[in-house]
A and B are shown apart, each in its own frame.
Chain A
Amino acid sequence: EDQVTQSPEALRLQEGESSSLNCSYTVSGLRGLFWYRQDPGKGPEFLFTLYSAGEEKEKERLKATLTKKESFLHITAPKPEDSATYLCAVQGPNYGGSQGNLIFGKGTKLSVKP
């Protein structure tokens, strides 16, 4: 069964304290892995798409990496405004006849204290 597991569930950091969020996945035929940021009461905001092992992408203080079994979201010198829930999702082959479906992890809630 295809699934996505994110860890830790919650992470508290001091401003400037770098860390990483993990997304482990099992999917038959990965077509893409996505990272989103979600603030309370809002829809997910797109961050990155990764397609193949070894790929890396960066945006400001965030860097996403991908291996054959997991992805990491590295946060360098975080600021309080980085506080949010970070969601990982995978896109595999057709699920029940529906193309393009995403399977989401439960997310990591990040809190950055000043």
Chain B
Amino acid sequence: GAVVSQHPSWVICKSGTSVKIECRSLDFQATTMFWYRQFPKQSLMLMATSNEGSKATYEQGVEKDKFLINHASLTLSTLTVTSAHPEDSSFYICSAGMITDTQYFGPGTRLTVL
């Protein structure tokens, strides 16, 4: 139980294009989903928290117009990196869970912007 999937697992795109990453909770309903970013040899940094049916809450320093988050249902959240640039290349990981409960993480998406 508690399986979270992400799609795609890796993506390469040209600078200036937009990329959408999907996060799905496969066997449970998640009222809250979280998006993290992880640089090589560093720990996870929270980007934003999204609640089903409401606007996402972004962490300080994260551009909400660049990283668009939609949490359309209790099992799906999407992160769109708009007008991606090489500095956006990173490992993006989502997690899903209840607010006061354990977070279960997806396998991650490796984004490379050329």
Interface residues of A (CB under 8 A from B): 31-32, 34, 36, 41-46, 49, 87, 91, 96-102, 104-107
- Enumerate chain B residues within 8 angstroms of A44, measured Cβ to Cβ: 44, 93, 105
Contacts of A100 in B (CB 8 A): 32, 34, 49, 97-100, 103
Closest to B103 in A: A102
The smallest C-beta distance from A7 to any residue of chain B, in angstroms, reads: 14
Closest residue of A by beta carbon distance from B4: A43
Question: What range describes how many residues of B lie at the interface?
Answer: 20 to 34
Chain B interface residues toward A at CB < 8 A: 2, 4, 6, 32, 34, 42-44, 46, 49, 57, 59-60, 91, 93, 95, 97-100, 102-108, 110
Q: Report whether A42 and B107 are in contact in the complex, using a CB–CB cutoff of 8 Å.
A: yes
Contact A41:B108 (CB < 8 A) given known A98-B49, A100-B97, A102-B46? yes
Residue pair A34, B107 in contact (C-beta under 8 Å): no
Q: A100-B97, A104-B43 are in contact. Are A41 and B102 (CB under 8 A)?
A: no
Partner of B43, one of A41, A99, A101, A106: A106
Chain B residue contacts of A49, Cβ below 8 A: 102
Other CB < 8 Å A-B pairs besides A43-B105, A44-B93, 18 of them? A32-B102, A34-B102, A36-B105, A42-B108, A43-B6, A43-B93, A43-B106, A45-B105, A46-B104, A96-B57, A96-B60, A98-B46, A99-B100, A100-B32, A100-B97, A100-B99, A100-B100, A102-B34
